[in-house]
Structure 1
Amino acid sequence: MPFNVNHIHLKSSDPKKTADWFVEAFNVEIKTDNVRPVGDRFITTMTEGGLAINISSERTGETLGPADADPHYGLEHFGFDTDDMAADIARLEGLGAVLKEGPIDNGGGVTIAFVAAPGDIRIELIHRA
């Protein structure tokens, strides 16, 4: 059996706000939105490419550390392809994202950039010429 990525899980102090931002920014679709028995609001979204992005709040009695949209160890970012880097950076900034790095010529016709989405979530944009 191949090891396919099942989902990405984001923690947010306001899961609905974060999910709504991803709906507007990346055309994800909200599939479920409920409060689980462990006390967290849990929203499942799906990208057009079929990847689930789960967004939840703290569980009952759980205290989360601060988010970090800068480079760091551990799960640091995930990427979305773009057909128009400049237009998507401008569009995402209009939705509240902050350009952190780039665009950077990565060679071989690939350009990348990193933005901080609301909630200090680090996202890479990838453009292939």
Structure 2
Amino acid sequence: MNSPYSFDHLHLRSPDPEAAAAFYVSAFGASIKARMTPGGRVRVVMDLHGVPVFIEEVPAGTHAPPKPPFLGIEHIGLTVQDMDAAVADLAAKGVALLDGPREARPGVRIAFFAAPDGVQVELIERKG
């Protein structure tokens, strides 16, 4: 079946993204591809064997996740070729739009949708 969706990235949040990235490099052989500071927060971009992983610094005072058995991730990112068509498709399926679509930076539009168990799915349309 031909689908308009494909995997884009995994986005993790950490009070110390450098230490977290070092763990993934050491434990699993990830490679660091870039470091940046969007919004003034450190973001380490890694390649975890073909899976792009962003580890971004959380603001001071950010609450830690609840104690187990709670597990989770920040969001799952999926690439789409046509944001408007994807948003309409998900709306027709009853998927709740949480934010967007909006331009994250020139040539990049994003939107966030609710998924089960509090997970968020980000759609990303990259043009140019």
TM-score in terms of structure 1 length: 0.48
Greater helix share, structure number: 2
Q: What is the TM-score normalised by the length of structure 2?
A: 0.48
Q: Which has the higher contact order (CA 8 A, sep 6+)?
A: 2
